[in-house]
Amino acid sequence: MTESKKTPARPTLKAVRGTRDLLPDQTPLWNHVEATARALFARGVGEETDIVSKEMFTWEDRPRAASEKAQQLTLRPENTAGVVRAYIEHKLGETGQLQKLYYIGPQFRRERPQRGRYRQFWQIGAEVIGPQSSGSESPLRDAEILEMLASFLDELGIRDWRLELNSVGSSEDRVRYNAALREALQPIKHQLCEDNQRRADTNPLRVLDSKEEADQDLINALPKIADYLGPESKAHFDQVLAALDACKVPYHLNPRLVRGLDYYTRTTFEFTVTTGLGTQNALLGGGRYDGLSEMLGGPKAPGIGFAIGEDRLILTLQAQAEHDAAESATNPGAPGPDSRTWVSPRKLDAYIAPLTPAQNPAALALARELRTAGLTVEVGDGTFKLRKSFDIADTLARHIILLGEDEVSTATATIKTFATGEQVKLPRADLTTRLRS
């Protein structure tokens, strides 16, 4: 792509130095690498865990602090603004096509941690964005995304999800609504909790988000955004609802769903669940952001997207599986755990135990051979006592393979199958067949 020679009206936004965007033409390779890595981890370890917690979210880029290039960096709290920045920086709009971009990765927010709310958490998100001529503004994009999410949750086996839906209107609609809210809040403000009194002055929309029990009746009686939508916003929203009805995707209109991020226009939504998440019950959230590209100095590019809280998705699946297990234990007639919702990690095919450190290299060579053949394997260490190797192997794997001096010199292996207790010495060439049986 060639750089425009014109001096831009605003400074052009660029990826932070030392970071880069992975654009769609590179994703097949990235997908391939990631898929191979995941399969490899699964074969080698069975499961993957990576928990990192950091408190520093924003900092000065110190070496540049004194120069005019001084800048502050922040660990990303969400990805939508970054994706739109990339859309602008790489001029993806110039293709004229609708862009459908997705991401899976960690986000960071300095929030008070609790169940389902972390300072580093994972999101699976997607953004659909493009010039108006690409159909990016069509209500069908909204309905299409919602239908896809409903199918995704069904496919994963998430039960009793609930789609909460609202329209927050255009930015003009919101100015009128904000003024009406402010006015309605003035006479009742003193009856609200301290937090809501502050919000009533600074950002009245946030009052609608409040979970303060004592304030709910007053908040429910406040003006509704639906009554302040202009004809275009209203028609757009009606078409979203009509398409959802046609697909038979159930939804609940929630006039208080304004969402915490300022870039939303028109459709906003959340999918909530009742099992497993407690008060942090939003599994995912999203909405339309028709003005965000322009806010960031880019061309007009309406868009809509969502982000799923991957941690919360997993918590929900685990809670469902636990609930099912408890049900079938107390009521033998009840259906057992739904195997679609959560499958507990499968045991490894084998645990390789070198009997002394001298067999360590041969053990690793054998692990490489078996993993290449598609088997899941873990290797111990020649310093481990035999008892310890057996204990670990019994927890992790279906078989233990013992490699002593004799086995290495005769190209054999001693293998024990835990399920039957049978132990045999085999030529190495027969191992894979035996492990697969």
How far apart, in Å, do the first and last CA atoms of the chain sit? 55
Task: Tell me: does residue 142 bind ligand HAM (CB under 6 A).
Answer: no
DSSP assignment string, 317-379: HHHHHHHHHHHHHH-TTS----TTT--PPPPEEEEEEESSGGGHHHHHHHHHHHHHTT--EEE
Task: Tell me: does residue 327 bind ligand HAM (CB under 6 A).
Answer: no
- Cβ nearer to ligand HAM, comparing 80 with 170: 80
- Cβ nearer to ligand HAM, comparing 183 with 262: 262
CB of 312 to ligand HAM, least distance (A): 4
CB of 410 to ligand HAM, least distance (A): 55
Q: Give the whole-angstrom CA distance, residue 204 versus residue 177.
A: 10
CB of 124 to ligand HAM, least distance (A): 9
Q: Which residue bears the tokens 């209500």? A: 139
- Cβ nearer to ligand HAM, comparing 258 with 401: 258
Task: Tell me: does residue 162 bind ligand HAM (CB under 6 A).
Answer: no
* Interface with ligand HAM in residues 49-108 (CB under 6 A): 78-80
User: Which residue of 131, 204, 285, 337 would you call a contact of ligand HAM, by CB under 6 A?
Assistant: 285
CB of 165 to ligand HAM, least distance (A): 14
Q: Give the whole-angstrom CA distance, residue 384 versus residue 389.
A: 6
CB of 352 to ligand HAM, least distance (A): 38
* Size of the residue set binding ligand HAM (CB under 6 A): 26
Task: Tell me: does residue 302 bind ligand HAM (CB under 6 A).
Answer: no
Contacts 24+ apart (CB under 8 A), 316-319: 316/158, 316/273, 316/275, 316/276, 316/277, 316/283, 317/156, 317/157, 317/158, 317/341, 317/342, 318/276, 318/342, 319/275, 319/276, 319/277
- The pairing of beta strand 252-253 with beta strand 161-167: parallel
Task: Tell me: does residue 293 bind ligand HAM (CB under 6 A).
Answer: no
Task: Tell me: does residue 161 bind ligand HAM (CB under 6 A).
Answer: no
Structure tokens at 15: 């990826």
- Cβ nearer to ligand HAM, comparing 146 with 413: 146
Question: Which residue is closest to ligand HAM by CB?
Answer: 309
- Cβ nearer to ligand HAM, comparing 311 with 407: 311
- Cβ nearer to ligand HAM, comparing 40 with 295: 295
Residue 314 falls in which region: left (phi positive, over 0), alpha (psi -120 to 50) or beta: alpha
Dmax over Cα atoms in the chain, in whole Å? 91
Q: Give the whole-angstrom CA distance, residue 366 versus residue 404.
A: 13
* Interface with ligand HAM in residues 240-279 (CB under 6 A): 260-261
User: Which residue of 137, 142, 215, 311 would you call a contact of ligand HAM, by CB under 6 A?
Assistant: 311
Q: Which residues pair with 416 in a beta bridge?
A: 400, 423
Task: Tell me: does residue 144 bind ligand HAM (CB under 6 A).
Answer: no
3-state secondary structure of 128: strand
Interacting residue ranges for ligand HAM, rule: CB under 6 A: 78-80, 109, 111, 116-118, 121, 123, 125, 127, 260-261, 282-287, 305-307, 309, 311-312
